[in-house]
Structure 1
Amino acid sequence: MTTPADSRPNLDRIRQEIADGYDEELELELEEARLDRILGDAPELEERDTLDRKIYFRELFRLQHELVELQDWIQHHKLRVVVLFEGRDSAGKGGVIKRITQRLNPRICRVAALPAPNERERTQWYFQRYVAHLPAGGEMVLFDRSWYNRAGVEHVMGFCTDAEYEEFFRSVPEFERMLVRSGIILLKYWFSITDEEQEFRFNMRIQDPLKQWKLSPMDVESRRRWEDYTRAKEVMLERTHIPEAPWWVVEAVDKKRARLNCISHLLSQIPYGQVEHPPVVLPERERHEDYVRHPVPSEMYVPNVF
């Protein structure tokens, strides 16, 4: 594809964005035809200084090694850890959650991403459906959005009354203090992006057929109501930033830096050390003269297409 020189920063920026979506693969190949289709009429974007991929992967793998040690510590000492991830649509919450859980045991570290409440849940105590997902001893739960839905989308979109909104702010500090008093380690992260960055990420989702599923009608409406969500966020942070469970703001315009900074901070908030494990010794396989392995019918095999 021939690209005018003045549009080169735009192409580089879009290449970078697509690479971010596949950064689990160390050897990345971009399909030129697919990139051409995604480019379309994308607006000019200022080229951004981003973290070198080699440095990013080196630090990500180092931090993921530390996360495995943290996981062992949590399991060994029967700790209970809750981490909340909040932020605007497309702010990168899912990306950091994915990197945290990537090398961990899903039985120890699990993700809670609750859908909209059903008719029965809407009649319950507001926090009830979230309580059901809290960890037992030896578990860490990552909430991809949390009870703070009431302070954000429910308030902005009119899904709760003003009285319910105010009751939330009266209740949530006591609810979180109760969790902390019970021994739960509670961390709260807000992922912050700019107006321009959200617009770019939404446009990428619109143009990319592999990401269109991420853009819901509610996401589109949130774009129109940027200022309403800003005011709601400011009120939320002001009224729920308590000593027992403070908010931590992650600058998330640069996805790579946001992931590394968030994981590094999470690790710093929970004192942990190495857990000694007995060495694993692979036993000799038992063999019996009367054992006969039966053949598998050929029609049961998955075809070798590749």
Structure 2
Amino acid sequence: MTQRPLPPFSAIRAFEAAARHLSFKAAAEELCVTPSAISHQVRTLEDHLGQPVFVRAANRLALTRAGAEYAGALSGLIGGLFAATDRATAGAGAGPFRVQATAAFNARWLVPRLERCPLREALSVTTAAGAPDTDFASNDADLIVHWCDSPIPGCHVLPMLKSVRFPVASPDVAARIRTPRDLLREPLLRDQVLDCWGDWFRAAGVVAPEEGLGGRFNANCDINLTAAERGQGVALAWDGIARATLEEGRLVRLFDIETAPKVIYSVAYPEARADDPRIAAMRDWLLHESLEDGTSADPVRVEAAQ
């Protein structure tokens, strides 16, 4: 079958940068060219595709539907190309293996088990400010531990860790709590993302106001767990994240009541690098560890792969 020629790489690179920044000026600064050169390359791409990739109006730049789909596909491909070039230049398997994840995952899940990681000698771990950056063309990561399991264009996303939630407190605070209603008198440490206190109180059969559930400390789950360890309130812990802390006795679980399980972490990496042996090793280790914990989001698939 005769394949249609690809557009010039210079046009692809200019479009990818402009789509990422939604700015010809910023793309030009990144690629060390002029904004008019970026505009020319984008028009070359549009001529090749036979349709616009940007909507240009009132000094604003927005992607068309076709442009958004094309940019999503290019993100993983270009990231894979840069990574392949790095490996070809430095030698396959050389250099650090870069993983990006949330603060809670790194501190509460990854660090306690690093001695078992097959890539521990080469591992370079980055803590994201919020959810990890899913753009492999710019995040400088080989693999990310993706928050939840939403699709990423051009990437494999494999659900990894499914978890329930339940209240936890320091031993001193836990000693004065007898019933779920007692929590209404305590400072409740609430997450900025996926706060589930309302769900937990409904499961406990306790009518609680939507606002002012005994106080509010709105932060990420790692900060909230740290605050709970110091006796500053009660946190709603993800089982898959807090397990090591509970085993060490720094926190105590309150009650057997828990929320419905949710997928909270997935393994993600570019499709173009699916055959990279270090990505495969890290992916398989992460999935195996969650299976051993009993928190695997897809135990059947993990067991079948072993």
Q: Which of 1 and 2 has higher RCO (CA within 8 Å, sep 6+)?
A: 1
Q: After TM superposition, is the score higher than 0.5?
A: no
Structure with a larger share of its residues in strand:
2
Q: TM-score, length-normalised on structure 2?
A: 0.26
